[in-house]
Amino acid sequence: MKVYLESFGCSASQASAEVMKASVKKLGHELLDPDTADQAEVYICNSCTVKYTTEQKILYKIRSMGEKNIGVIVSGCMPEVQLEDILHANPEAHILGVNAISCLGELLTSIEQRKTQGLPGGERLEIRTSESPGVLNVPRERSNPNIHICQISQGCNFACSYCIVKHARGKLRSFPPDEIVEDIRTAVAEGCREIWLTSQDDSQYGMDTGFKLPELLRLISEIPGDFKVRVGMMNPFSVLPILDDLVEAFDSDKIFKLLHLPIQSASYPVLKKMNRLHKMDSLDSIITKFRSRFEDLSLFTDIIVGFCDETEDDFRETVEWVEKYRPEKVNISRYSPRPQTKAFSFRNLDSRISVQRSHELHKVCERIKLESKQEMTGWKGRAFVSKYTEMGDVLTRTDSYRPVVISGSNLKPGQYTNVEIVVAKPGYFLGKLIS
């Protein structure tokens, strides 16, 4: 059969999509690209439910594909929390639970048998399981052959009032460290040179088992081979208990000096309403400790604009925080209420206020990013060759994960080289090789 798989959401979702694509190919089906999606006999939607706009796009896709008599399978987070919405959009949609991606073959085989035998579609199929999601040490069709996404846990032990993912993926379940190490060891042997550690919150790893993230990072750093590790998003309140050990673990040459620390807001009243279990002074202690140890640290953060009852003063605190700490990247989201969350019952702001604040914060972040990039022009130092670009150049990354594109070289992923940044582009730098 001709199968088109489309994935939405986070890097953990992307990892699941890579595993499912490998399953599709192993069964002998043809995997289509976006340009030929309309030729599909089966459409697999690996869904995300974090944002209302994404949810609406997904519901439109599964409805329109069904109207074209294309079989639809919905996987990912949405089936766990919005099954009624899915079936309202497409009553014949098959469901693959968030932990059941290893069962994709069963669904495809059943659909193919009905089709081969000339039978009508029949009742929709639904497969769920509480077992491990099966994303470690399994074949995968990587989006980039040089990058391996390793999911280290599933779920979360906290309850931010706006977050629906907790309801979709459940409580924290850390995967065994030996399985994670073997998964990465295999990926390196297969040629991957950049490893992304992902989960709902990387710094929660091991809170349920006692084997914490710093210990895991030390094990990963001992794996032979030329590769670098990007540690994913870590919440401040789960970083604090392991802060000193985490800074020590980051000192490994194999770990990018990148700290992705979502603040969501810099206002204490807003944080309290969000049920975010940190205060801004503790966030300051985390950043200060990392920056004092790693001078060239990159800081990423996430901010929700227009949360329920956010005042102008609350918003100003967030803007001032961004101007003070100058993160290299800020993921800005306008708040949208999600079903089953505590905040769903809260009073929402006028959407025009959220839009205005979002635009203002974007301008501030773009100005800071431009200033920071210009300051980097002329920088000289060591860079790690991550991957080839679509134009045939190589993308290198500094130890702090800043992207520097080098043209006309014979460099290969996994090598180190010395570069000088010569031009700052909106999303990356242009560099040249130096001795």
- Determine the pLDDT at residue 216: 98
Per-10-residue mean pLDDT for the chain, 435 residues long? 95 94 94 92 95 94 94 95 96 94 90 72 80 88 93 95 93 97 97 96 97 98 96 97 98 97 97 95 96 96 97 98 97 94 94 97 95 93 91 93 93 92 92 91
- Determine the pLDDT at residue 116: 73
Q: What is the DSSP string of 338-405?
A: -TTSGGGGSPPPPHHHHHHHHHHHHHHHHHHHHHHHHHHTT-EEEEEEEEE-TTS-EEEEETT--EEE
Q: Write 27-31 long-range contacts (CB < 8 A, 24+).
A: 27/105, 27/108, 27/109, 29/1, 29/2, 29/3, 29/108, 30/1, 30/2, 30/3, 31/3, 31/4, 31/5, 31/141
The pTM score is 0.93
- Determine the pLDDT at residue 122: 61
- Determine the pLDDT at residue 120: 57
The Cα 155–Cα 329 span in angstroms is: 25
For 195, phi and psi rounded to 5 degrees? -110, 125
| Domains, the chain | 2-127 (3.40.50.12160), 147-376 (3.80.30.20), 380-433 (2.40.50.140)
Assign 336 to helix, strand or coil: coil
Q: What is the DSSP string of 273-293?
A: HHT----HHHHHHHHHHHHHH
The Cα 157–Cα 166 span in angstroms is: 8
- Triad 9, 280, 426: Cα angle to 5°: 50
Residue of 45, 78, 77, 46 whose CA lies nearest to 62: 45
No. of helices (H) and no. of strands (E), the chain? 14, 19
The Cα 264–Cα 270 span in angstroms is: 9
Residue type, 50: V
Q: Which tokens belong to 350?
A: 């006028």
